[in-house]
Amino acid sequence: MERLQKILAHAGLASRRTAEGMILDGRVAVDGVTITSLGSKADVDSQVITLDGKPISKRPQYHYLMLHKPPGLVSTRSDPQNRSTIMSLVPPSYRAALYPVGRLDLDSEGLMLLTNDGELAYRLMHPKFNVPKTYAVWVTGQPEDQALERLRQGVMVEGKKTAPAQVSLLRAGLYRSQLQIVLTEGRKREVRLMCQAIGHQVLQLVRLKIGGLSLGALTRGKFRELSKQEVSALQQSVGLGQASPGHKKNSCKNQAYKVKKTTRSKSKPSLKVR
């Protein structure tokens, strides 16, 4: 017996948090009985579980995409303000099932994951699993050692102290410096607010890594499917053991897709100080 939200996540229908909303909205039933309690459990092998009246699949096919998000796109499936989202970067065959793992703000760019593996998504996003995210960050001016140490120890952001971070000064300049920041939590606009707290505004922010998964040479506005080895490494890093048997490539594996040009930027990102 497992909690319903976990079953829905395992079925690749949503993240665990989104699945909780589905249950509270009365969209889930077990053996014909609508369930609205988040504490409810079910047996996926012996009971009929439905979402919006349709039985869920017991053997979902999981997909895992690595995406280089450009600036100027919203990192959600849809946007109430009708702004362009990262889902415009991928073919229609992916859009219906996949959803983003975490977010990057509108002006940021870099590595994002898209998947229908709800349990992996949940563990990658939850701070208790301590998955490090690595960022290349260009800021105004040259931060002093004391300011960098404040970032390492945690600074107050919106009334709450940030978790300790790994911070390195890679290149120093009078007007512009490059930092590398590694975080294990993912609060909204956290890197920008951390740098602002020490008096240095972020000029450019690129997420380079999630755990051991690196953006590598994937260029802005393109994506690719993860290899089985990459999926297995991610799963093992959050205690999920071997790669899911549902992992299956689809017809557009290892292809890179250019996205519609955005008005925010037309050039490929450079990791050199400008």
Catalytic residue among 31, 79, 105, 145: 105
Query: DSSP 3-state helix, strand, coil percentages of the chain (rounded to 5)?
Result: 25, 25, 50
At 16, the amino acid letter reads R
Q: What phi, psi does 192 have (nearest 5°)?
A: -65, -45
Joined together, the tokens standing for residue 57 give: 């699949």
- Which helix (H) or strand (E) segment is 237 a member of? helix 228-237
Q: Where are the alpha helices (DSSP H) in 25-108?
A: 92-95
105 classed as catalytic: yes
Burial pattern 165-202, b for ≥16 Cβ within 10 A else e, equals bebebeeeeeebbbbebebebbeebbbbbbbebbebeb
CA 225 to chain centre: 15
Residues in the chain: 274
Helix axes 16-24, 118-125, angle to 10 degrees: 110
Q: Which two tokens stand for residue 133?
A: 């995210």
Give me the active site residues, please.
105
